[in-house]
Structure 1
Amino acid sequence: MTQITDRQLRQVRSEAPVWAAPMAGGPSTWRLAAAVANAGGVGFLAGGMVSAQRLTEDLRAAREAAPGRTIGVNLFVPEPANTAIPAQDRSADSDARRRRAEQVRQFRSSLLTPAEQAGVTLPEMTDLDPDAMDDWDAKLDAAVAESWPLVTFTFGLPSREVFERLHAADCTLGVTVTTPEEARAALDHGADLLTVQGPESGGHRSTHHPAATPPTASLLELIAQVRDAVGTDVPLVAAGGLMTAEDVRRVLEAGAVAAQCGTAFLRADEAGTNPVHRQALDASAAGTAFPTTALTQAFSGRWARGLENAFMRTHTDAPAAYPEVNVLTGPLKKAATAAGDPEGTNLWAGVGVAQAQTGPAERILRTLTP
């Protein structure tokens, strides 16, 4: 087990207690990361679903705009690199892969009519690659070449070799976990810190095995469970439904060194949240629409929490198949966004969404800081 160094521990604990959560798909911009960092928090870039070149350029821009501040990068772990999935289940000719392909095929069939109504063409089955790497190797190369100071992993657990390589480049490494078992495995592979993600979180749940059922223990319960499993020396960053300074205070008192807030920044001026998503968030905050959030696999093939809408209610049969489902629904989501239709695209948000505020990220950060 690789223990966090004294220097790294001091760095984590010396930061402000609020981190901006990485939010893939647009909301996490370099401007948002820089604004949070300049205000005394830890800014984050979401590295999922963007090229290594774009991610590197955004990180450079954020670091230039917030010199001397900590900007973290979060990476999705692609299935071929996810050690939490047994090797036999990752094999292209395995029973698990054959079942998965058939489930995706059936789900695609259920989307043909909505696609025709929206005037879009769905990707063919040959376009849906479960082994797509999301520019993984190039992102690791960039992290090493430029010594990214803080890198966290979501959607799985990379190999020990990945941790060793990035540690040699002086990167501090974290893993998002949803169970005590995932926490122990992450430390065994070399994690320096753990992002403990409760079920209240908006966006994707980071269960290490993509087919796992997301746990339901509350964030505070999960912090206690993980602390019992890993001891008191491992820094824990709490994530899930943290919308106020009182929420942050509670998780710090429970043993976290910081709170990672995502939904709280979705309406920030610097966030890249698209107009349809913003309008739905506005309606939720005003109490005029979208009163609840729910978990769904319908948009991406990974469990995620968002404002409950018609697409989620209609397509409850989506399989656990990321990135295939994410690619498959891409044209439908794009068409709904272009048409200004919040009922047909993902509106990621956590359980405290009605409390999300508008304005500069700096001001929002102040409302979150105990």
Structure 2
Amino acid sequence: MSTTPSAPASLTRPTVPVVAAPMAGGPSTWQLAAAVSAAGGLGFLAGGMRPVERLIRDVESARQATQAPVGVNLFVPEPANTAIPAERSAPGSEARRRRAAEVAAYRSSLLAEATRLGVDPAGLPAAESLDPDATDGWDAKLDAAEAGAWPLVTFTFGLPSPEVFARLHAGGSTLGVTVTTAAEATRALEHGADLLSVQGPESGGHRSVHDPAADPGTTALADLLAEMRAAVGPSVPLFAAGGIMEADGVRAVLAAGANAAQCGTAFLRAHEAGTSALQRAALDQAAAGTHFAAPDGSARTALTRAYSGRWARGLENDFMLRHADAPAAYPEVNVLTQPLRAAATAAGDAESVSLWAGVGAARARTAPAAEIVTEILGVSPQ
């Protein structure tokens, strides 16, 4: 298990050991990615839920803004995810019929939410129109990565086939996979991964459990890194993600065998981030301890499937509490709740919209991205 010999060290071991985690849905703008890479770290564009034409433009904009490399992260759709047993994804299977019934029942449970938010309940997508095999433009994005020779492409939400890795390697890309267990890490390397993003339970946003029906692990990041190193050996580059907000967190993961700290929540309030005004206000409240705050002064976060159908960590709000029984059905649930999230955002209703953030959310600060990089490293900005 070794990295591809041609993989540049600047991609697998950035000079400044800070990686800006890809955050789909808005926060990871090309401006943020370029600013972090220009500061010596490694910035990322989030390709999930982003039209391929927009993603291509963002890659080009980042390239024009900095000569430093910028990574692109892609969601692995269920049809391309080798971690899902074939019998469970087969059209007409008992598993698919049960999933469709669960999605229909969840839609019914959301009708009152729609009325409360001023959304016509009849306007919610019909359950039978929701496609579990929607691909998020997967083939077009792979074509774009190959044609554009994107230097670093990583995958989350699952594990593509070895053929996908071989194809993009041939185009010159270095490839990574987000993993949550040592078993996932081993299999990712067997498929052709050059580096691994190790995601601990403290992380904000979606957990990248390869099998979406599996419950996410609870092993703390430091212990998970030790398990990873034991499983993959000393030479595989590891990016460590999970609650890292300051220099002591960076030092801890580097000492535990990581090559860089991957930070997402720390950049949510960056000037260059595309974080919504509503989420910025919620983070302000968490930092001030006035709302979304735990008794110990930290942010109150929790895992939920209520918004997307996949486990994700965010600031705990009323919608999450009301819909703790949401099914494991991405992308159907994500499509189903989109009108509700849009209405809640327009109304400034933080109790009804997804507010993805990790356990360190109360310590996120507002500043330029380059300044946040230096502070994460424990260096005083000039």
User: What TM bracket, shorter-length normalisation?
Assistant: over 0.9
Report the CA distance shift for 1:51/1:365 in structure 2 as closer, same or farther (over 3 A). Answer: same
Residue in 2 that maps onto 1:281: 283
2:271, 2:339 → 1: CA distance?
A: 27
Report the CA distance shift for 1:14/1:267 in structure 2 as closer, same or farther (over 3 A). Answer: closer
Instruction: Report whether the alignment pairs 1:151 with 2:150.
Output: no
2:209, 2:191 → 1: CA distance?
A: 16
Report the CA distance shift for 1:319/1:7 in structure 2 as closer, same or farther (over 3 A). Answer: closer
Q: Provide TM-score, normalisation by structure 2.
A: 0.95
Residue in 1 that maps onto 2:375: 367
Residue in 1 that maps onto 2:55: 55
Matches within 5 A, 1:12-91: 12-67=12-67, 69-91=68-90
1:173 maps to amino acid? L
2:45, 2:10 → 1: CA distance?
A: 22
Unaligned 5+ residue runs, structure 1? Answer: none
Q: Secondary structure at the match of 1:273?
A: coil
Q: Secondary structure at the match of 2:258?
A: coil
Q: Secondary structure at the match of 1:93?
A: coil
Q: Secondary structure at the match of 2:324?
A: coil
Compute the RMSD of aligned alpha carbons.
1.1
1:22 maps to amino acid? P
Instruction: Report whether the alignment pairs 1:357 with 2:365.
Output: yes
2:319 maps to amino acid? F
Q: Please, which moves more after superposition, 309-318 or 2-11?
A: 2-11
1:59 maps to amino acid? V
Kept in 1, the 8 Å contact 2:202–2:243? The answer is yes
Q: Secondary structure at the match of 2:4?
A: coil
Deviations 1:312-347 (A, max 9, x none): 010011000000000000011000000001000000
Instruction: Report whether the alignment pairs 1:194 with 2:196.
Output: yes
1:10 Cα deviation from its structure 2 partner? 6.1
Q: Secondary structure at the match of 2:168?
A: helix
Unaligned 5+ residue runs, structure 2? Answer: 294-299
Deviations 1:146-198 (A, max 9, x none): 11000000000000000000000110000000000000010000000000000
2:311, 2:373 → 1: CA distance?
A: 28
Kept in 1, the 8 Å contact 2:14–2:42? The answer is no
1:40 Cα deviation from its structure 2 partner? 1.1
1:235 maps to amino acid? P
1:6 Cα deviation from its structure 2 partner? 5.6
Q: Secondary structure at the match of 1:64?
A: helix
1:228 Cα deviation from its structure 2 partner? 0.6
Matches within 5 A, 1:74-223: 74-120=73-119, 121-223=123-225
Kept in 2, the 8 Å contact 1:2–1:188? The answer is no
1:279, 1:344 → 2: CA distance?
A: 14
Identity rate, percent: 65
Instruction: Report whether the alignment pairs 1:310 with 2:318.
Output: yes
2:200, 2:26 → 1: CA distance?
A: 22
Q: Secondary structure at the match of 1:365?
A: helix
1:117, 1:312 → 2: CA distance?
A: 16
Q: Secondary structure at the match of 2:13?
A: helix
1:14 Cα deviation from its structure 2 partner? 4.4
Deviations 1:49-102 (A, max 9, x none): 0111110100100110012x0100000000000000011111111111111111
1:37, 1:287 → 2: CA distance?
A: 32
1:106 maps to amino acid? A
1:127, 1:333 → 2: CA distance?
A: 19
2:277, 2:128 → 1: CA distance?
A: 32
